[in-house]
Amino acid sequence: MYNTATESDMRPEDSEVVFAEEVQAVDEDLKRLDEIENILDLAEGEYPIFTLAKNKARFLRMLSWYKGKEEWLDVAPLSGVSKLFKQQSKELEGIRANKMDYEMELETGTLTPSQRSYRKDELKMCKVHEKMAVHLITKMQIKIKSGRR
């Protein structure tokens, strides 16, 4: 009649297959991020896939914040843009340092599968954050340059 198998009824091989498929999806999503020009232009169905709910929530908050700042740039005073530019440039350094740390950890090969999955999710979060920050910084540079002429 109905399949009433629960997670506890699954054979160990089944859970390993599911885990391997999830890891492959995360890897493909990581590669796809490099090809995306502007994350802010993505439709909801194209958003990066995060295995950790906290990262999905962080992503959505970040996306909202960066979209708001991009709209604010249209009406922002030059002094405000300059201040945000300095803050974002400093933050970008931290994002890139974290990204490099996660990349190096993943290259060691000493992580357990769950640690590896966690680090990949965090790496993806760093890549997304970096792309959004770079995009905003570029727009601010253009605004600053055009405002000082």
pLDDT digits (tens, 9 = 90+) for 43-97: 999 999 888 899 999 999 999 999 999 999 999 999 999 999 999 999 999 999 9
- Predicted pLDDT at 11: 58
Could you tell me which residues come within 8 angstroms of residue 103 by beta carbon, excluding any fewer than 6 positions away?
Answer: 123
Q: What pLDDT does 24 receive?
A: 66
103 neighbors 113 (Cβ within 8 angstroms): no
For the chain, the distance separating the N- and C-terminal CA atoms, rounded to the nearest angstrom, is 75
Q: Which residues contact 105 (CB under 8 A, 6 or more apart)?
A: 111, 119
Domain ranges in the chain? 7-147
**Residue 135 near residue 39 (C-beta atoms within 8 A):** yes
Question: With left for phi above 0 and alpha for psi between -120 and 50, is residue 123 left, alpha or beta?
Answer: alpha
Residue (of 41, 36, 92) closest to 70 by Cα position = 41
Burial label, 50 (beta-carbon count in 10 A; 0-12, 13-18, 19+): buried
Distance between CA 102 and CA 78 in Å, rounded? 36
Residues 59 and 48 sit within 8 Å (Cβ to Cβ): yes
> Residue 136 pLDDT more than 90?
yes
Q: What is the mean pLDDT of residues 2-16?
A: 51
